[in-house]
Amino acid sequence: MSKTTHHNLIIGQSGGATAVINASLVGAVQTALGDARIGGIFGMLYGIEGLLKEELIDLRRQPNQVWSQLLNTPSAALGICRYKLQAGDPERAIELLHRYDVHYLLYIGGNDSADTAHQLTLAAQHAGYDLQTISVPKTIDNDLLFTDHCPGYGSAARFLALATMDSSMNTISIPSHYPVKVIETMGRDAGWLAASSALGKRDEHDPPHIILIPEKPFNAERFLQQVEGVYQRLGYAIIVACEAIRDEQGQALGAIGQVGTDAFQHPLLNGAAQYLVELVEQRLKLRARFDKPGDLQRMASNSISRTDRDEAYLVGQMGVMALLAGENDKMVTLVRHMDPGRDKSGPYACTTGLVELAQVANAQRLLPDEYLSADKTMVTKAFYDYALPLIGDPLPQYPTLEKIGIRQ
């Protein structure tokens, strides 16, 4: 492909929306607008579904001020989809790309989206069509391989750390009312989000006291013993549980409230926290309640991490640069750099790299053992060193009153 020729670019957003996915879109569009090698800049409405339905918009003709405004706007401005390519879809997509003379494709999403981008690359090669495809990473689950972390995770982690601190304050203020609280987080098969709830924890008395993640099979008796132990010590207990935790037979606790599956056959779960609350009430005879932040953890604008936003912009920018450099069938990665001679708690810096899409598509990175305590119900210092730089500004530290009695 001659780099002196103008080529049209198309961009799509896919998977779950995040607080910073639009920053990646802005990074990509502003970079494309500034390079004469790119002609038209098109957007798919609702991801690959929009392309297949020929629902496209002209991004080059948008008002200039919209890009600076979108930089701090949560959710997905182009619209997203959870659509698994069906037989004939890749071929139709290539036909449409040919019709619009698109030779550059940028797809912003997670591991399922990486698979979609990879399939389009293969279809283009089979059809003999000159197409370059780059995937831009995005997922609050933080489970993509070959990247240090994923844009979207830092902001979601910040939200959950703050939410755990804030929600716990009510329990602490009146422990006799509902002494046990369960906070349920998102997370399909990995516990990165649940683990982030501990980022505001400064000592063993601070919440959360127990973290339940998919990497550790759930055992009811062990869990109840832990809850009772914390309750006896503090008078209350705060548990953070990933929605996808499973028992020792592999059955999701949330299956009692399962509401179907998505297009990729991932279960849509709705009952882990409810199950745990009922278990505590029935077996320990303690009043319990649960909080489920839901979509807020994905895209709360008041919890956007500046580090996360800047890196989301960066990967969008570098996605376009990779296309212009002739790269194809790759995903942009974030590469952490530390000052030589310092440990992982030293100054944080991040650059980018590239990895083959075939290595990323449909694969997951779980929490490594070094980030978890021996019983896998709490995080270690190594996790704090890893995650704290990603959430931006330091978290607040709430004071407590000294229990100083009145002298008469």
Full DSSP string of 112-176:
HHHHHHHHHHHHHHHHT---EEEEEE--TT---TTSSS-TTHHHHHHHHHHHHHHHHHHHHH-TT
> Is residue 329 within 8 Å of residue 310, measured between CB atoms?
no
Domain map of the chain by residue range? Answer: 7-151+302-360, 156-297+367-391
Q: Looking at per-residue confidence, does 101 or 339 come out higher?
A: 101
Mean pLDDT of all residues in 32-36:
96
Q: What is the mean pLDDT of the chain?
A: 92
- 140, pLDDT greater than 70: yes
Q: Looking at per-residue confidence, does 189 or 262 come out higher?
A: 189
Decide: helix, strand or coil at residue 8.
strand
Residue type for 401, please? L
> What residues act catalytically?
141
The pLDDT, as a whole number, for residue 109 is 94
Fold category of 156-297+367-391 in CATH: Rossmann fold (3.40.50)
The pLDDT confidence band at residue 268, using thresholds 50, 70 and 90, is very low
Mean pLDDT of all residues in 287-312:
95
- For residues 93 and 53, what is the distance between their CA atoms, to the nearest angstrom? 9
- 390, pLDDT greater than 90: yes
Task: Residue 198: name the closest of 228, 235, 168 by CA.
Answer: 168
- For residues 312 and 27, what is the distance between their CA atoms, to the nearest angstrom? 8
Supply φ then ψ for residue 103, to 5 degrees: -120, -10
- For residues 365 and 141, what is the distance between their CA atoms, to the nearest angstrom? 10
The pLDDT, as a whole number, for residue 342 is 45
Return the DSSP state at 392. -
Query: Model pTM?
Result: 0.92
The pLDDT confidence band at residue 341, using thresholds 50, 70 and 90, is very low
pLDDT digits (tens, 9 = 90+) for 202-248: 998 999 999 999 999 999 999 999 999 999 999 999 999 999 899 99
Least confidently predicted of 71-75, 226-230, 271-275: 271-275
Fold category of 7-151+302-360 in CATH: Rossmann fold (3.40.50)
Same-fold call for 7-151+302-360 versus 156-297+367-391: yes
